[in-house]
């Protein structure tokens, strides 16, 4: 009976897992003011902030280019389904010709491949998008809408001075209409660009506050199938350029909305498998009978647990309400804040529940609400642990618990919202790469958080799940370590404690896998792996792939060969401090040493990262653990074990 039940449960778990369709939200944002805290805009060239606006060019110099682009990529079309996105963008800008009779060159909105950079020699009439060798090249894949203030006779319409045009992978406009920049100088233009995926029509319209010219046309359109011109994912933004003559280009506001939501590869496979599973009627009948028998037994057990759980939650309520820390929220408030926990507000989902973005109007703050899945028994244990642990902690590098809610059989935690999400998204996702100074500051911030947990708390806190997806980033890319659901309080004097295996494969110390004893040393090991991820841009090994070389082993091999810098993330394009990078990676290897006795304390690691003490000399070959490490099939039977850094969610 037990064997049949176990097999049935495994089958049902597989069915439930395959039914999940992971997707990435369509892109939607609105920026009414460009502030220094705004991390979603990337500036290149001359572009810079200027009192709530973006100033693109230095007008005291000639031949200048500036870019301002959105940090996230946009899914424009889906190669498997052929679906094409609708999108609308609305922006306002000003061109100031500064009363000069001759001026140039203009501003444009563009879509281009992710990772595009300002081309060399692209100032002047090339508007920062092309040069003499790249215009009309199929490899460019650029579509733009240009407000071109200077006539270049080589490619611009003859005899009309300036124009508004739609450009299809060329500096020459496919369609255009006359437009005079000096007539509208210093006035604010409002521009709407829309794309209809059904009619394949790209349309542009614009208007001015005070300088409307009835003789000027104020709209153009082009029928174009963007699937034939642009890649699936694109970056969006603005480019402006000056040449021999100059003018000021100022972006004042920008909003963008797209419609296409991406269904991941796993989701597509899941849909096909679900059809096969649903057709297996005889198997379903057998499973149903087994499940009914289990439900009878389960209800009997549940009755025994219910009283204990109620007592435990009541105890948590009493403890929190007596304290001066987190607030108690009503379920109604959190439903309103998260738009009834809508899918569009979901930030992430793990084995124990989901996290939703919300906004509390009364407090005027953005929040992240962690909603524990009702069916997750372990989730309830994690919830109780997280509440008890994190409510006692106060540190600038820890995610702040704002409040909690136990109502209507729901368990919810309310955290401060981290607008830049988790570190793994920036290291391994589609975002613009983090610069090395930002990465180094993140490393030090994470180390500071761990030092607080290990050394400065009244009781030592062993986190047990330090990984890049649990390293959150605020609007200034300051570190906030989160997810204390697996954390344990231990005495500073007693040391390691047998807790049962939990955490994420790829970040677990060898001795922890073997013994189940969590310790400060096992946390330091996880920290070392994250340091290596930050420097290399490579994920910790996915242990489901038996042939894959682990991150630690790969970096250690390069260290032994004297080629450590070959491991540095190629997205940094050699723009980094070699001393800091070397220090960071060697410290990462030191922390991830297979022998826990050879690892540093977090205090020692911080001293090396701050270059206060000498960088250690490590063995040229990675040492081998001297105790038995069980196979993955054995490990996977543990109570709480994840296979990837992204599964556990955001907080």
Answer with the residue of higher pLDDT: 96 or 60: 96
Instruction: Provide the 8-state DSSP code for 34.
Output: B
CA dist., res. 616 & res. 3, Å (int): 52
Q: Is the pLDDT of residue 418 over 50?
A: yes
What pLDDT is attached to residue 89?
A: 96
What pLDDT is attached to residue 644?
A: 47
Answer with the residue of higher pLDDT: 145 or 288: 145
* 148 DSSP β-pair partners: 106, 163
Cβ–Cβ under 8 Å, residues 89 and 76: no
Q: 70, 65, 76, 67: which is closest to 141 by C-alpha?
A: 76
Which residues participate in the annotated binding site?
Answer: 371
Return the C-alpha torsion angle 70, 72, 74, 78, nearest 10. 160
Angle, CA 121 vertex, CA 156 and CA 50 arms, to 5°? 90
Candidate from 219-223, 321-325, 580-584 with smallest mean pLDDT: 321-325
Number of H helices, E strands in the chain: 13, 32
Cβ–Cβ under 8 Å, residues 454 and 460: yes
In 160-243, at which residue ranges do the beta strands (DSSP E only) sit? 163-168, 175-178, 188-196, 201-208, 219-223, 233-241
Phi, psi of 479 (to 5 degrees): -75, 140
Query: Beta strands 502-504 and 640-642: pairing type?
Result: parallel
- From the list 148, 424, 465, 569, the catalytic residue is 465
Q: 460, 464, 505: which is closest to 484 by C-alpha?
A: 464
Angle, CA 448 vertex, CA 444 and CA 451 arms, to 5°? 135
Cβ–Cβ under 8 Å, residues 586 and 619: no
Whether the ω angle into residue 275 lies within 30 degrees of 0, i.e. cis, is no
Q: 174, 48, 171: which is closest to 108 by C-alpha?
A: 171
Q: Do domains 24-263 and 423-642 have the same CATH topology?
A: no
Q: How far is CA 386 from CA 40, 214, 351, 391, in A?
A: 30, 64, 15, 8
Query: Under DSSP, is residue 446 helix (H, G, I), strand (E, B) or coil?
Result: helix
The secondary structure of the chain in percent helix, strand, coil, rounded to multiples of 5, reads: 30, 25, 45
Phi, psi of 77 (to 5 degrees): -155, 160
Largest CA distance in the chain: 91
What pLDDT is attached to residue 326?
A: 78
Q: Is the pLDDT of residue 567 over 80?
A: yes
CA dist., res. 398 & res. 392, Å (int): 11
What pLDDT is attached to residue 15?
A: 40
Is domain 24-263 given the CATH code 2.60.120.200 in the classification? yes
Instruction: pLDDT band for 275, please (50, 70, 90 cuts).
Output: very low
Cβ–Cβ under 8 Å, residues 426 and 420: yes
> Both ends of the chain: CA-CA distance in Å?
39
Q: For residue 441, what is the enclosing H or E element?
A: helix 436-451
Query: Under DSSP, is residue 411 helix (H, G, I), strand (E, B) or coil?
Result: strand
Please provide the DSSP assignment of 299-341 as one string: HHHHHHHHHHHHHHHHHHHHHHHHSSSSEE--HHHHHHHTTTT
What pLDDT is attached to residue 64?
A: 92
CA dist., res. 567 & res. 559, Å (int): 9
What pLDDT is attached to residue 634?
A: 39
CA dist., res. 117 & res. 114, Å (int): 9
Answer with the residue of higher pLDDT: 632 or 165: 165
Answer with the residue of higher pLDDT: 157 or 561: 561
What pLDDT is attached to residue 250?
A: 96
Best CATH choice for the domain 423-642 from the list 1.10.357.10, 3.40.50.150, 1.10.510.10, 3.60.10.10: 1.10.510.10
CA dist., res. 566 & res. 561, Å (int): 10
Query: Under DSSP, is residue 416 helix (H, G, I), strand (E, B) or coil?
Result: strand
What pLDDT is attached to residue 483?
A: 82
Which residues participate in the annotated binding site for ATP?
Answer: 371
CA dist., res. 354 & res. 345, Å (int): 10
Answer with the residue of higher pLDDT: 441 or 624: 441
What pLDDT is attached to residue 301?
A: 67
Q: What is the pLDDT of residues 313-346, one digit of tens each?
A: 555 555 555 555 678 899 999 999 999 999 889 8
Q: What is the pLDDT of residues 1-25, one digit of tens each?
A: 444 444 444 444 444 433 343 344 5
Instruction: pLDDT band for 80, please (50, 70, 90 cuts).
Output: confident
The verdict on whether 465 is a catalytic residue reads yes
Q: What percent of the chain is predicted at pLDDT more than 90? A: 48
What pLDDT is attached to residue 380?
A: 66
Tell the burial category of 154 from Cβ atoms under 10 Å away from its Cβ (0-12, 13-18, 19+). Answer: exposed
Angle, CA 509 vertex, CA 504 and CA 515 arms, to 5°? 100
Q: What is the pLDDT of residues 382-402, one digit of tens each?
A: 677 677 777 778 899 999 888
* 299 DSSP β-pair partners: none
CA dist., res. 209 & res. 185, Å (int): 12
Candidate from 128-137, 218-227, 285-294 with smallest mean pLDDT: 285-294
Instruction: pLDDT band for 607, please (50, 70, 90 cuts).
Output: very high
Cβ–Cβ under 8 Å, residues 71 and 114: no
Torsion sign, CA atoms 552, 558, 561, 562: negative
The interaxial angle of helices 2-18 and 265-278, nearest 10 deg, is: 130
What pLDDT is attached to residue 81?
A: 85
CA dist., res. 524 & res. 571, Å (int): 27
Q: What is the pLDDT of residues 54-66, one digit of tens each?
A: 999 987 888 899 9
Candidate from 171-175, 214-218, 262-266 with smallest mean pLDDT: 262-266
What pLDDT is attached to residue 200?
A: 94
Cβ–Cβ under 8 Å, residues 148 and 127: yes
Tell the burial category of 303 from Cβ atoms under 10 Å away from its Cβ (0-12, 13-18, 19+). Answer: exposed
- Where are the chain's structural domains? 1-22+281-322, 24-263, 324-417, 423-642
Instruction: Provide the 8-state DSSP code for 457.
Output: S
What pLDDT is attached to residue 252?
A: 96
CA dist., res. 298 & res. 291, Å (int): 10
Q: Is the pLDDT of residue 253 over 60?
A: yes
Instruction: pLDDT band for 218, please (50, 70, 90 cuts).
Output: confident
What pLDDT is attached to residue 593?
A: 96
Please provide the DSSP assignment of 478-499 as one string: -EEE---TT-EEE-TTT--EE-
Instruction: pLDDT band for 604, please (50, 70, 90 cuts).
Output: very high
CA 249: distance to chain centroid?
Answer: 31
Best CATH choice for the domain 324-417 from the list 3.40.50.460, 3.20.20.70, 3.90.950.10, 3.30.200.20: 3.30.200.20
Q: What percent of the chain is predicted at pLDDT more than 70? A: 78
């Amino acid at each position: 009976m037990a064997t049949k039940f176990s097999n049935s449960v495994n089958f049902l778990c597989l069915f439930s897992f395959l039914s999940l369709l992971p997707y990435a939200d369509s892109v939607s944002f609105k920026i009414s003011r460009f502030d220094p805290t705004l991390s979603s805009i990337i500036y290149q060239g001359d572009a810079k902030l200027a009192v709530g606006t973006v100033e693109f060019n230095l007008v005291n110099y000639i031949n200048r280019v500036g870019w301002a682009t959105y940090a996230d990529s946009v899914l424009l079309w889906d190669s498997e389904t052929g679906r094409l996105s609708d999108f609308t963008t609305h922006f306002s800008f000003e061109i100031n010709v500064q009363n000069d009779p001759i001026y140039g060159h203009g501003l444009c909105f563009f879509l281009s491949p992710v990772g595009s950079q300002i081309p060399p020699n692209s100032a002047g009439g090339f508007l920062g998008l092309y040069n003499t060798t790249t215009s009309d090249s199929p490899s460019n894949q650029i579509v733009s809408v240009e407000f071109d203030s200077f006539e270049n006779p080589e490619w611009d319409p003859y005899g009309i001075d300036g124009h508004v045009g739609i450009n299809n992978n060329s500096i020459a406009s496919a369609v255009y209409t006359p437009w005079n920049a000096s007539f509208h100088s210093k006035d604010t233009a409002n521009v709407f660009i829309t794309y209809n995926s059904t009619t394949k029509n790209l349309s542009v319209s614009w208007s001015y506050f005070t300088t409307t010219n009835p003789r000027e046309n104020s709209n153009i359109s082009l029928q174009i199938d963007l699937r034939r011109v642009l890649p699936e994912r694109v970056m969006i933004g603005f480019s402006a350029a000056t040449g021999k003559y100059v003018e000021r280009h100022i972006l004042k506001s920008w909003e963008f909305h797209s419609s296409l939501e991406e269904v991941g590869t796993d989701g597509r496979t899941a849909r096909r498998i679900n059809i096969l599973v649903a057709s297996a009627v005889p198997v379903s009948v057998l499973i149903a009978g087994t499940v009914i028998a289990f439900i009878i037994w389960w209800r009997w057990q549940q009755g025994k647990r219910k009283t204990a759980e109620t007592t435990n939650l009541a105890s948590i309520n009493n403890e929190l309400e007596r304290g001066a820390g987190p607030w108690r929220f009503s379920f109604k408030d959190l439903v309103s804040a998260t738009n009834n926990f809508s899918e569009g507000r979901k930030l992430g989902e793990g084995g124990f529940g989901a996290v939703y973005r919300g906004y509390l109007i009364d407090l005027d703050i953005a929040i992240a609400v962690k909603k524990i899945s009702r069916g997750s028994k372990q989730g309830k244990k994690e919830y109780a642990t997280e509440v008890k642990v994190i409510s006692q902690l106060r540190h600038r590098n820890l995610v702040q618990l704002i409040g909690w809610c136990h109502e209507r059989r729901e368990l919810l935690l309310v955290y401060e919202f981290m607008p830049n999400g988790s570190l793994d998204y920036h290291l391994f996702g589609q975002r613009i790469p983090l610069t090395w100074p930002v990465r180094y500051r993140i490393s030090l911030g994470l180390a500071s958080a761990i030092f607080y947990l290990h050394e400065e708390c009244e009781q030592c806190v062993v986190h047990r799940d330090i990984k890049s997806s649990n390293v959150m980033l605020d609007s200034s890319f300051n570190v906030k370590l989160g997810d204390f659901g697996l954390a344990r309080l231990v005495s500073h004097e007693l040391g390691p404690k047998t807790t049962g295996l939990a955490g994420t494969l790829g970040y677990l110390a060898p001795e922890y896998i073997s013994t189940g004893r969590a310790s400060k040393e096992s946390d330091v090991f996880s920290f070392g792996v994250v340091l290596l991820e930050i420097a290399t841009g490579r994920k910790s090994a996915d242990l489901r792939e038996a042939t894959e070389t682990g991150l630690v082993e790969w970096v250690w091999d390069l260290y032994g060969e004297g080629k450590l810098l070959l491991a540095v993330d190629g997205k940094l394009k050699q723009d980094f401090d070699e001393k800091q990078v070397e220090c960071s990676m060697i410290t990462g290897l030191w922390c991830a040493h297979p022998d826990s006795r050879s690892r540093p304390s977090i205090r020692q690691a911080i001293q090396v990262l701050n270059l206060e003490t000498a960088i250690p000399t490590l063995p040229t070959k990675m040492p081998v653990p001297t105790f038995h490490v069980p196979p993955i099939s054995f490990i996977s039977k543990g109570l709480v074990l994840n296979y990837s850094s992204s599964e556990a969610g955001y907080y």
